[in-house]
Amino acid sequence: MTRRRLDDVDRAIVNRLSQDARTSNRQIAAELGVTEGTVRARVKRMEEKKQIRITAFTNIDRFRDVCLAYIWVEVERTSQVREVARKMATIRELGFVGEMLGRSDILAITMVRDHEHLAEFVYGQISSIPGVRRTESTLGVNFVKHDYRMARIVQ
């Protein structure tokens, strides 16, 4: 299967939708100097090819009773990283799981109520996974910048 690269018009459409996904095809077409049909067809193609997905996200800036928690995981053996990450990815509460280079093998991100909730979650859900050697957790306390295009990681 050959992958189609996004051209300048595709990128402009994606950029406009990333600012406000409710923007009409007609408005995007007028801004870009193309037809509404062109915008509609390109959005449909990009969605079908899974190059984009249009969805709504919660605004974490509005939550007052939750904290963003970062859970850094060190795995016993390098050969276990992928399997541990896959098991972590099945945990519904985790909005992001990624294999990392550097001090920790895996980073997971979730939302918790407080440090006690985080401790319960880490000890009950993460530390019990075979291959997990050590975890380190941090809580976000003040977000200076939050780009909603990255909001997928916290669901």
Task: Based on the fold, state whether residues 44 and 64 are members of the same structural domain.
Answer: no
Q: What is the pLDDT along the chain (155 residues), one digit of tens a residue?
A: 556 788 999 999 998 998 888 999 999 999 999 999 999 999 999 999 988 888 766 655 556 677 889 999 999 999 999 999 999 999 999 989 999 999 999 999 998 988 999 999 999 999 999 999 999 999 987 777 766 555 444 43
The answer as to whether 26 is a domain residue is: yes
Residue 143: domain span: 60-154
Prediction pTM value: 0.65
Q: How many CA within 13 A on the CB side of residue 86?
A: 5
- The type of residue at 5 is R
Other beta carbons within 10 angstroms of residue 145's beta carbon come to 5
- Domains: count for the chain: 2
The answer as to whether 1 is a domain residue is: no
And the tokens for 73? 């995981």
64 class by beta-carbon count within 10 Å (0-12 exposed, 13-18 middle, 19+ buried): exposed
Nearest of 68, 85, 78 to residue 129 by alpha carbon: 85
Q: What is the pLDDT of residue 55?
A: 76
Cα–Cα dist 15/6, whole Å = 12
Task: Based on the fold, state whether residues 69 and 128 are members of the same structural domain.
Answer: yes
Query: Which CATH number covers residue 13?
Result: 1.10.10.10
Task: Based on the fold, state whether residues 98 and 118 are members of the same structural domain.
Answer: yes
